[in-house]
Amino acid sequence: MKPFDVYSRWAIEPVKGKGCKIYDKNGTEYLDFYGGHAVISIGHSHPYYVEALTKQLQQIGFYSNSVFNSLQDEYAEKLGKLSGYDDYSLFMVNSGAEANENALKLASFHSGRKKVVSFRKAFHGRTFAAVEVTDNPNYLAPFNETGNVRFIPFNDIEAVSEQLKQDDVSSVIIEGIQGIGGIQVPEPKFLQELSRICKKTGTVLILDEIQSGYGRSGKFFAHQYAGIRPDIITIAKGMGNGFPVSGVLISPMFKAVSGQLGTTFGGGFLACAAANAVIDVMQAENLIENAAVVGSYLIGELKKIPQIKEVRGHGLMIGLEFEAPIKTMRDRLLFEEKVFTGVTGSNVFRLLPPLCVSKEEADEFLKRFKKVLQKL
Ligand SMILES: Cc1ncc(COP(=O)(O)O)c(C=O)c1O
């Protein structure tokens, strides 16, 4: 047997990581400005994290949700405090798509409605409901097309109003900052109006903070730049620093119904140990503040580079749009300058470094990035 061949891969295999650096088997060092797709939050192989997971595994790695698990309560309490949502409840699952799947289902259980509004260029995952609210027909099997989802232009409040008029929409789902859509930041005014219209029409507002959350934007959640409080928030990626764990933050307006949601693996002991360790390190090392400071420094410096058409984003979620395709530039960055970056579409770089990235590492990135630009 061999792996099902659905990924295009670089011919590099990391065998070791430390902070914002990764190393291949020849000992070549790479600067990680991709973070394994925005997943690495506290840095690769953080000693506190490694010790916490090792200790937990030596005690007990897993049991199902049929037993008491005080690590889940401990984590929920820490998350509530750090995120500013201590009155919400937490349902833990295993991946971003699964978090959105549960969010959409919970909204529909609550409202008794079927329809969902999503946005152009949205990405919410690959499972049944998550892929249906994702705006990419290539990911949809005929089986997924229920006709329950309407896509509307991003930042278009008139279109939202129009869709919610008929009181048949269960939820509106939106990313805190669109990631795969090209680092598109929603206008604060738009989010405020969206929140108001959702409340007025009894529509559940779901904020997908899977990529933009967990401190990446320089605030715990990107939507906190607009000062809104959504009904449901989904988290994943940075939450486990690579351990597969995700969560649904649920406002007090939802009543928990025994047996309505469930999972075998979600919130097991090892997953909670990972999530607790990440949140401890984030607080101890002020990583949200670091993301804000180093992120705004990077954005400021990148805006001075004339070849870049537009710099978008907040904190350490940065998009760099070019007029022409960037493939050659990205390959040179990786293979000649030893820097990992993300892309979206053909013309946009996505910078998603670990939240612990230092100003010195940001300067090193800028130096290597400019070198590649000069060679072109
Ligand atoms: C905004 C957003 N939502 C959902 C997902 C899906 O997460 P997962 O791949 O863990 O299912 C992603 C993954 O990139 C994402 O960026």
pLDDT, one tens digit per residue, over 138-154 is: 999 999 989 999 999 99
What's the 59 CA to ligand 1 centre distance in angstroms?
A: 31
Please say if the pLDDT value at position 23 is more than 90.
yes
Number of compact structural domains in the chain: 2
Please say if the pLDDT value at position 357 is more than 90.
yes
Region 191-219: mean pLDDT is 98
What's the 126 CA to ligand 1 centre distance in angstroms?
A: 8
Whether 127 and 19 map to the same domain: the answer is: no
In a domain, 74, yes or no: yes
Whether 110 and 220 map to the same domain: the answer is: yes
Instruction: Give the contacts of 215 (CB within 8 A, at least 6 positions apart).
Output: 41, 238, 282, 287, 288, 291, 315, 355
Structure confidence by residue, pLDDT tens digits, 226-239:
999 999 999 999 99
Region 200-214: mean pLDDT is 98
Instruction: Please report, rounded to a whole number, the percentage of residues in the chain having pLDDT higher than 90.
Output: 99
Query: Does the CB atom of residue 210 touch ligand 1 within 6 A?
Result: yes
Give the residue ranges of DSSP H helices in 84-166: 96-111, 128-132, 157-164
Residue 92's φ and ψ, nearest 5 degrees, are -95, 135
DSSP state, 256? P
- From 123, 126, 234, mutation site for ligand 1 pocket: most ligand atoms within 8 A of C-beta: 123
pLDDT at residue number 153:
98
What's the 37 CA to ligand 1 centre distance in angstroms?
A: 9
Q: Which two tokens stand for residue 283?
A: 């607080």
Distance CA 261, CA 82 (A): 25
pTM score of the predicted model: 0.98
pLDDT at residue number 375:
87
- What residues form DSSP beta bridges with 318? 313, 351
Whether 218 and 274 map to the same domain: the answer is: yes
The CATH number of residue 39's host domain is 3.90.1150.10
What's the 123 CA to ligand 1 centre distance in angstroms?
A: 7
Whether 150 and 216 map to the same domain: the answer is: yes
Query: Does the CB atom of residue 178 touch ligand 1 within 6 A?
Result: no
Sign (positive or negative) of CA dihedral 109, 112, 114, 120: negative
In a domain, 218, yes or no: yes
Structure confidence by residue, pLDDT tens digits, 40-97:
999 999 999 999 999 999 999 999 999 999 999 999 999 999 999 999 999 999 999 9
Q: Which domain holds residue 294?
A: 14-46+286-375
Q: Which two tokens stand for residue 246?
A: 């995700």
Of all atoms in ligand 1, which is nearest to the CA of residue 97? 11
C-alpha 288 chain-centroid distance:
14
Structure confidence by residue, pLDDT tens digits, 263-321:
999 999 999 999 999 999 999 999 999 999 999 999 999 999 999 999 999 999 999 99
Name the pLDDT band for 376 (thresholds 50, 70, 90): confident
In a domain, 212, yes or no: yes
The CATH number of residue 205's host domain is 3.40.640.10
